[in-house]
Amino acid sequence: MSYIFKVYNDGNREYFTWEANTRYYTTKRAIKKDFEFTQSLLDFIDLNVDELYETFIDMGNEVQKLYEDENNDTISLRKSFDSIAEKHIYFQLFRLHWFDKLDKYITGEYEGKIYDFMPYKDLTHIPMKIGAAQNQIKFMLNKAFDITVENDKTIQQYIATLYENNSRSVDKAFKFQPLTIDFERIDDSLMVEVLYPKNMIDIVDYFLREIIRREIGFKVCKSCGKYFPAIAHGNIEFCNRLFQDTGKTCRDIGSLTKWREKVAESPAMMLYNKHYKTRFSRIRAGKITREVFQEWAAKAREYRDLVMQGKMSYDEYEAWLKSGRWV
C-alpha cells in the first residue's frame, strides 16, 4: 500500500495519524489529528446517513464509468473522496484506501478484472454499513453504557449479558471482528496499542473495545440530547459539543442557564427586583432623576451580591432597602 493509517489513544485523547505517497495525494510528513476520547465514535453515530446516500451512489456511478473506459478521468471521483473526508475523521482512511486503488488503476498495477479490483458496491453500500453500525452502537449505549438508567451492574456485566448465547440482543449488538493491532513506542514516554484499520468499522470496533475495557459510562446531555462520556469529575450534566451556532459549548450554555436559574430563585435577587421596580416607577412619575436612580441601583446590586456571597445578612439588606436611603 502507498499509505499508512493508524489509530491509538493515551487514556485521555484519541489520535489518528496518516501518511501517503500516491499520484494525487502525498503527505511530506505524517498528519496527526486528536480528539477527546470517544468523541469520534459519538460523532460517527450522529452522521446523517440519509445525506450520504446520494453522494455514494454518484461515486459508485463514477467507478462504473471506469469499467467502460480505462482511460476515463478520475478527477471528479477524487474530489468526491476529498469532500467526504471532511465529514468525519474515519473517512480519511476511506479516502486513502481508494486513492491507492485509483493510483493502481491509472498505472495498471493491479491483477484481475477492474470491476473486481474496484467494486462499485464497496461505495454504494457504505451508508447502509454506517447505518447498521450506528444502530448497533446506539443499542449498546441504551442497554449497557447509559449510567443514568441503572447502576446495579458493571458495564462489563451489562455487555456480557448482551452477548449471552441465544440472546436476542446478540443480533442487535455490534459484531466484533479480529483487528490488526501492534504495540509501539509513540514518544519518549508512551508505549501503546496501535490499530492499523482495514476499514472504518475496524475503528468503531477498536473504540468500543476500549470503552468496555475501561468501563466508561455515558450520559445524555441536557442541552443537545446527545450522549457524552461521564468521565469528568462531579455531576456534569452537559457535553462539550458546540451548541448550534452560538460559538459556546453545551456545558458553557448549561452552566450559565443553571446560574441564572439559581440567581433568579435567590431571596436576595427577588427582594432586589421588587424594590428596583418600585423605585424605577418614580422616574416615570417625575419624583427622581434617572441619574439618582442609577446611583441607587448600583449600590443595591452591590449589597445584593454581598448577601448572595454570605458577606451581608438578608435582614440587613432588607432594612437598607426599606429605609428609603438612596445611597
pLDDT score, position 133: 96
Q: How many Å apart are CA 147 and CA 208, to the nearest integer?
A: 16
pLDDT score, position 40: 96
34 CB-side CA count, 13 A: 9
pLDDT score, position 283: 80
Which pTM value belongs to this model? 0.75
pLDDT score, position 59: 94
Kindly report the length of the chain.
327
User: Under 8 Å CB-to-CB from 248, ≥6 apart: which residues?
Assistant: 242
Please give the grid coordinates belonging to residue 215: 468501563
Q: Which residues pair with 228 in a beta bridge?
A: 219
Q: How many Å apart are CA 205 and CA 117, to the nearest integer?
A: 25
Give the residue from 204, 255, 254, 265 showing the smallest Cα distance to 226.
Answer: 254
**Cα-to-chain-centroid distance, residue 56:** 23
User: Under 8 Å CB-to-CB from 191, ≥6 apart: which residues?
Assistant: 183, 184, 185
Please give the grid coordinates belonging to residue 304: 445584593
pLDDT score, position 50: 92
pLDDT score, position 72: 75
Give pLDDT tens digits along the chain (327 positions).
789 999 999 988 999 999 988 777 777 788 999 999 999 999 999 999 999 999 999 999 999 999 887 677 888 899 999 999 999 999 999 999 999 999 888 888 888 899 999 999 999 999 999 999 999 999 999 889 988 776 678 889 989 988 987 777 888 999 999 999 999 998 888 899 999 999 999 999 999 999 999 999 998 887 778 888 887 555 677 887 766 666 777 877 666 555 555 556 678 888 888 888 888 888 877 888 888 888 888 898 899 889 888 899 999 999 999 887 765
pLDDT score, position 243: 62
Where residue 87 falls (left for φ over 0; alpha for ψ -120 to 50; beta otherwise) is alpha
